[in-house]
């Protein structure tokens, strides 16, 4: 395993809105030390939610540099609503593109 660096960052305070965040801002009655493996969208989402619930989270990532991998992702309506609740609506508008068409193909295996 080579030398890896780690950094602990406090979770930002959740924005307060009428449509409150995941679990309606409730905090865990017992704060746990949790390790999340992987700094992809799933790992970051899990870490963010756990930190917002009051847990201490450490993320472990094998890549030495975090950057774009692949061509992009399709964000579903449910994920879009969650990102907006987390205060990322404006940033999402800046970087997203709405598809002009979709093609469905049937694959016979």
State yes or no: pLDDT of 6 exceeds 70.
no
CB 35, CB 47: distance < 8 Å: no
Q: 17 or 72: which carries more pLDDT confidence?
A: 72
What are the strands, taking DSSP E only, across 1-109?
33-37, 56-60
Averaged pLDDT of the chain: 81
Q: In whole angstroms, how far apart are CA 103 and each of 8, 23, 37, 80?
A: 43, 36, 35, 22
pLDDT at 10: 59
Q: What is the pTM of this model?
A: 0.63
Q: 25 or 29: which carries more pLDDT confidence?
A: 29
Query: Over the stretch 39-74, which tens digit does the pLDDT of each residue have?
Result: 888 899 899 989 988 999 999 999 888 777 777 788
């Amino acid at each position: 395993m080579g030398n890896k660096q780690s950094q602990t960052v406090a979770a930002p305070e959740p924005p307060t809105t009428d449509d409150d965040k995941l679990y309606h801002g409730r905090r865990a009655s017992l704060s746990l030390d949790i390790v999340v493996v992987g700094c992809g969208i799933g790992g970051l989402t899990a870490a963010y939610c756990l930190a917002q619930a009051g847990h201490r989270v450490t993320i472990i990532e094998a890549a030495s540099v975090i950057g774009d991998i692949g061509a992009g992702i399709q964000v579903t309506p449910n994920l879009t609503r969650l990102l907006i609740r987390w205060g990322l609506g404006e940033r999402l508008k800046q970087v997203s593109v709405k598809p002009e068409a979709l093609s469905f193909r049937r694959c016979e295996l």
